[in-house]
A and B are shown apart, each in its own frame.
Chain A
Amino acid sequence: MNAKERMKISPVDMPEQDPKERVNNLNEVPLGYTPEMAMLEAKRCIQCKTPFCIEGCPVGIDIPGFIKLIEEADFNGAVRKMKERNLLPAVCGRVCPQEEQCQLFCTIGKVRKDPCKSVMIGKLERFIADWDREQGEFEQPPSLRSSGKRVAIIGAGPAGLTVAGDLIKFGHEVIVFEALHKAGGVLVYGIPEFRLPKKIVQYEVDYLEKIGVEFRYDHVIGKTIPVRQIIDDFDAVFIGTGAGLPRFMRVDGENLLGVLSANEYLTRANLMKAYDFPETDTPIVNGKKVITVGGGNVAMDCARTALRMGAERSLIVYRRAEEQMPARLEEIHHAKEEGVEFHLLQNPVSLVGDENGWIRGAEVIKMELGEPDSSGRRRPVPIEGSEFIEDTDALIVAIGNSPNPLVPNSFSDLEVTRWGGIVVNEVTGQTSVPSVFAGGDIVLGAATVILAMGHGRRAARAMNLYLSSGRWVDLDSALDLCRAEVH
């Protein structure tokens, strides 16, 4: 088949649960490709000589390579190719913003002048990961001679899991300390079941355990074990504690009953399984008319969760216009299909309570778009006198997270930015404290799963070099030298 013929094939849609059905259950919305669908979609890749898609991937997956193997029905080979670069393909295939990464750079999308027509790299990634999991076979990676070095990883989220997976393969002893009672970080407390089934995360964690990573739950480093002891007991430390400090709007009435952060709402619903209350023990605020404030993926997750928790109406209130929403197009599309109402160019200015202190309404002001701000997006400007009361009995604040200060604060001499992010060498992830590295949202602020994994991947490489050379100063240039030797 030549490139011209390949380009004629239309993107293969992934079947989805019917919107009317799915708001009544927690099952995953997209149902996955069959092998036939995946092989047809794989045919759309023209195997560019210079694969721009790889440049768009934060962990540098050999995208044309694994797609070619799918086309040839060599799914085992595709799995191996994928796992060379990405340990969590089942997760990334579901939650990566591919339209801003690999698929944005895809030649097919460019030729057809529509990134939505690019090769569905994310869907193929998910297919191959799911296929692998369904085989149920576990391939023990070749065991390396033990290096005798011990590494502590603080936080079992996407960054920490990536570092763990990489460093165990280099032969180091890896212990992951997790504050919560489950591993996965935002993958288990934040992203809902219908977008990322928890059994998939658990499968990946189980895999890491099988290849030798040790997990210690209920450990808050800096509290359960002092930081000094961790630094003394381990040859290197990676901090990947994430952006888990919820921002609030700082408006009157924000502490009313029925007002909660997206983190609280999602943690109760996901990690604590409040959807099964009272079978499980954690309750959740069940509003009839739920407002979610914000326009990102987390806001979409909250608004869609609210419908599944029984809300009659679920509203997104966002201060800018739809084009400026940071949420992925797919998430916005799914939310709309399910009946989430989008109230755009609106912003709550205060919250109003009843005599028992429960929220009964939000005073909302209308906005219009003004001049572009520092982010390049047109700044939303309040329209004076346009305030009105939107009745509600639950309001979720989903306007972002800051780096969680708990762990950084317990490291003396650890340099942090004004907004609380850990300062690192961008190439190596080294912090201001020798032997301590950091990556993911604790450095970036609230970003994405795949960027955190990219950070983890880079830090792991630098940590491995540090562990074998003992060299801390100029580690970045040493790393460059190593890379040059390999090529």
Chain B
Amino acid sequence: MYQLLHKEKLGPDIYLYKFLAPDIAVYRQPGQFVIVRINEDGERIPITIADVDTGEGSITLIIQAVGKTTLQMAQMKKGDSIPTLTGPLGEPTHIEKVGRVLCVGGGIGTAPLYPVARAMKDAGNHVTSILGARSSNLIILADIMRETSDDLIITTDDGSEGRKGLVTDAIQSLVDNGEKYDQCIAMGPPIMMKFVCILTEKLGIPTIVSLNPIMVDGTGMCGCCRVTVDDSVKFACIDGPEFDGHKVDFDELMARLATYRSEEKNALERYSSHAGCRLDSMSEGGSQ
């Protein structure tokens, strides 16, 4: 069992969890993920690790409640335990000094981006970070990313914080101002990663993305997480989760993420009415 040491709300439906998992804390490297299962009949979901504290033996996960399992997690209290936390899985990010690095995080994608940005900074790179979200309250980890980066730009769709617009607008304007980048790392919703990759390909900036397909075991056994990269099939769990973003078939990834959408919706509604708890986004009129 893995005990919840700390839980904190970062924004609407967005929670930070610290679980006691000393082995994972010691061996995890930036870019790796864990499989979480919260009870005996629970599903196995992959979550990229946001941070670790080796002294405390804990790992930090930042999870947006969007379905039954993640809503149930949002009800957990300090001291509660979950039966499964497997990892660290996947290949770690390749960290090296390349020069100037652009880190782009969309919404909750900033969580897995943070350790990569920090490792890139520690490796001697100049790091510019762009954090984007629909609205100010969905921007997470801005302070810690500001400390980690040489420059930080925030964009919101509604202009409630930072520049009004999309992360791609910010990238374009940086480049228009003569900034040059040797590497881009983009983590966030697939649609954001897709458009970042279309732009950076045009701009000639190599781009790494972290993919989040549906998984079951997370060890290469089921093939549920297969993605097409450079016209060949890869398993995100053991070949990834990071790939060359210019070669990823994002449309296929987005389609496959919808495989169980109606089942997920039913399970969420059934749980919400049963347990008497709702997503913040449901209360707000279901903007997502």
A404 touches B219 (CB 8 A): yes
The interface residues of chain B lying within 8 Å CB-to-CB of A280 are: 41-43
The interface residues of chain A lying within 8 Å CB-to-CB of B84 are: 181, 217-218
Known interface pairs A181-B37, A224-B87; A267-B217 also in contact (CB < 8 Å): yes
Q: Which listed segment binds A: B102-110, B114-122, B139-147, B251-259? A: B251-259
- A189 CB to closest chain B CB (Å) equals 8
A406 CB contact (under 8 Å) in B27, B220, B260 = B220
CB under 8 Å from chain B, chain A span 249-292: 250, 254-255, 257-258, 260-261, 263-264, 267-268, 272-273, 276-283, 285
B222 touches A264 (CB 8 A): yes
Known interface pairs A257-B255, A267-B216, A278-B267; A220-B87 also in contact (CB < 8 Å): yes
Tell me the bound Cα distance from A220 to B227 in angstroms: 22
Residue of A nearest to B68 (CB): A281
B42 touches A264 (CB 8 A): no
* Any B CB within 8 A of the CB of A248: yes
A260 touches B223 (CB 8 A): yes
Residue of B nearest to A224 (CB): B23
Contact string against A for B residues 205-221, beta-carbon threshold 8 Å, 1 for contact and 0 otherwise: 00000000000110111
* Any A CB within 8 A of the CB of B224: yes
B89 touches A220 (CB 8 A): yes
B89 touches A267 (CB 8 A): no
Contact string against B for A residues 80-124, beta-carbon threshold 8 Å, 1 for contact and 0 otherwise: 000000000000000000000000000000000000000000000
A264 touches B224 (CB 8 A): yes
- B33 CB to closest chain A CB (Å) equals 10
* Any B CB within 8 A of the CB of A180: yes
The interface residues of chain A lying within 8 Å CB-to-CB of B228 are: 255
The interface residues of chain B lying within 8 Å CB-to-CB of A357 are: 252, 255-256
The interface residues of chain A lying within 8 Å CB-to-CB of B267 are: 277-278, 281, 283
* Any B CB within 8 A of the CB of A210: no
Known interface pairs A281-B69, A406-B238; A224-B24 also in contact (CB < 8 Å): yes
* Any A CB within 8 A of the CB of B244: no
* Any A CB within 8 A of the CB of B85: yes
The interface residues of chain A lying within 8 Å CB-to-CB of B266 are: 278
The interface residues of chain B lying within 8 Å CB-to-CB of A246 are: 221-223
Tell me the bound Cα distance from A250 to B226 in angstroms: 12
Contact string against A for B residues 166-188, beta-carbon threshold 8 Å, 1 for contact and 0 otherwise: 00000000000000000000000
The interface residues of chain A lying within 8 Å CB-to-CB of B270 are: 278
Contact string against B for A residues 146-184, beta-carbon threshold 8 Å, 1 for contact and 0 otherwise: 000000000000000000000000000000000111000
B27 touches A224 (CB 8 A): yes
Most-contacted residue by chain B among A255, A258, A280, A285 (CB, 10 A): A255
CB under 8 Å from chain B, chain A span 50-108: none
The interface residues of chain B lying within 8 Å CB-to-CB of A181 are: 37, 83-84, 86
Tell me the bound Cα distance from A181 to B38 in angstroms: 12
A225 touches B23 (CB 8 A): yes
- A429 CB to closest chain B CB (Å) equals 23
* Any A CB within 8 A of the CB of B263: yes
Contact string against A for B residues 21-33, beta-carbon threshold 8 Å, 1 for contact and 0 otherwise: 0011001000000
A255 CB contact (under 8 Å) in B88, B217, B220, B233 = B233
Residue of B nearest to A247 (CB): B223
A405 touches B238 (CB 8 A): yes
A224 touches B88 (CB 8 A): yes
* Any B CB within 8 A of the CB of A349: no
Tell me the bound Cα distance from A406 to B218 in angstroms: 11
* Any A CB within 8 A of the CB of B246: no
Contact string against B for A residues 219-255, beta-carbon threshold 8 Å, 1 for contact and 0 otherwise: 1100111100000000000000000111010100011
Contact string against A for B residues 237-271, beta-carbon threshold 8 Å, 1 for contact and 0 otherwise: 01000000000000010011011100110110010
Tell me the bound Cα distance from A67 to B54 in angstroms: 58
- A276 CB to closest chain B CB (Å) equals 7
- B72 CB to closest chain A CB (Å) equals 9
Tell me the bound Cα distance from A404 to B217 in angstroms: 12
* Any A CB within 8 A of the CB of B194: no
* Any A CB within 8 A of the CB of B44: yes
B223 touches A248 (CB 8 A): yes
Known interface pairs A180-B217, A181-B83; A282-B43 also in contact (CB < 8 Å): yes
The interface residues of chain B lying within 8 Å CB-to-CB of A285 are: 259
B263 touches A257 (CB 8 A): no
Tell me the bound Cα distance from A273 to B37 in angstroms: 14
A248 touches B233 (CB 8 A): yes
* Any B CB within 8 A of the CB of A375: no
- B81 CB to closest chain A CB (Å) equals 13
Contact string against A for B residues 79-97, beta-carbon threshold 8 Å, 1 for contact and 0 otherwise: 0000111111100000000
Tell me the bound Cα distance from A257 to B256 in angstroms: 6
A264 touches B41 (CB 8 A): no
A283 CB contact (under 8 Å) in B27, B37, B217, B264 = B264
Tell me the bound Cα distance from A356 to B68 in angstroms: 24
Known interface pairs A181-B37, A283-B264; A272-B43 also in contact (CB < 8 Å): yes
Residue of B nearest to A280 (CB): B41
Contact string against B for A residues 392-424, beta-carbon threshold 8 Å, 1 for contact and 0 otherwise: 000000000000111000000000000000000
Known interface pairs A244-B221, A263-B222, A404-B220; A278-B263 also in contact (CB < 8 Å): yes
- A99 CB to closest chain B CB (Å) equals 29
Known interface pairs A255-B233, A255-B252, A277-B263; A226-B27 also in contact (CB < 8 Å): yes
Tell me the bound Cα distance from A433 to B167 in angstroms: 50
Tell me the bound Cα distance from A263 to B85 in angstroms: 21
Most-contacted residue by chain B among A248, A276, A277 (CB, 10 A): A277
- A416 CB to closest chain B CB (Å) equals 15
Tell me the bound Cα distance from A25 to B228 in angstroms: 37
A261 touches B216 (CB 8 A): no
Residue of A nearest to B2 (CB): A218
B223 CB contact (under 8 Å) in A264, A276, A281, A406 = A264
B87 touches A245 (CB 8 A): no
The interface residues of chain B lying within 8 Å CB-to-CB of A180 are: 217
A260 CB contact (under 8 Å) in B69, B86, B224 = B224
Residue of B nearest to A404 (CB): B220
A-B contact pairs, 8 of them (CB 8 A): A218-B35, A255-B233, A264-B223, A281-B43, A282-B216, A283-B263, A405-B220, A406-B219
| Among all A-B residue pairs, the 10 with the closest Cβ atoms | A283-B263, A264-B222, A357-B255, A280-B41, A244-B221, A281-B43, A218-B86, A261-B223, A282-B43, A283-B260
